[in-house]
Amino acid sequence: MTEAHLNFSVQQSFRDAMASCAAGVHVITTDGEAGRYGITMTAVTPVTDEPPTVMLCINQKSSIIPILSANQYLCINVLSAQQQDVAEHFAGITKLSPEERFEYHIWHRGETGQLQVEGALAHLHGKVTAQHQVGTHYVFYVDIMEIKAYHSSEPALVYFRRHFGSLA
């Protein structure tokens, strides 16, 4: 076996193993001088609550990287199970353009001016304070400046084994 084949095998095994980890689904939005953009993500992890900090891991090929790096501000929209269409739009599954994705949902702005999708379970507005590259991804550290958590009986949208589902 060649080294390239072994690396592919390890990469595929890693991806398959990670697909077995259920994860909450989020849409990350950013709007500013560099433009407006949004993507669906599961690689969103709390780091600490003092100060509130979240880590995002985004593939270096993603179109949001230069926009987010320039804008610095973002909103993490924690999606409910009823918002699978939002997740699909911002994941590119529905083939809408990045601009059209914002036309299919109701948006409001938080105190930082970032777009938040109506009906989400929570909105976390923040500013990127650090970033670095690890392998094929950029890791962004986001200081959370505004938090809106809604007390809803709506289940969360999750992603498990490459399919959307719900979690009460």
pLDDT at site 19: 61
pTM score, two decimals? 0.90
- Which residues are registered as beta bridge partners of 105? none
Ordered structural domains, the chain, with CATH: 23-167 (2.30.110.10)
pLDDT digits (tens, 9 = 90+) for 4-57: 555 668 887 777 675 666 789 999 999 999 999 999 999 999 999 999 999 999
pLDDT at site 7: 66
Q: Which residues of 87-99 are buried (b: 16+ CB within 10 A; e: fewer)?
A: bebbbeeeeeebe
Q: For residue 26, what are the CA distances in angstroms to 44, 50, 80, 93?
A: 8, 22, 9, 15
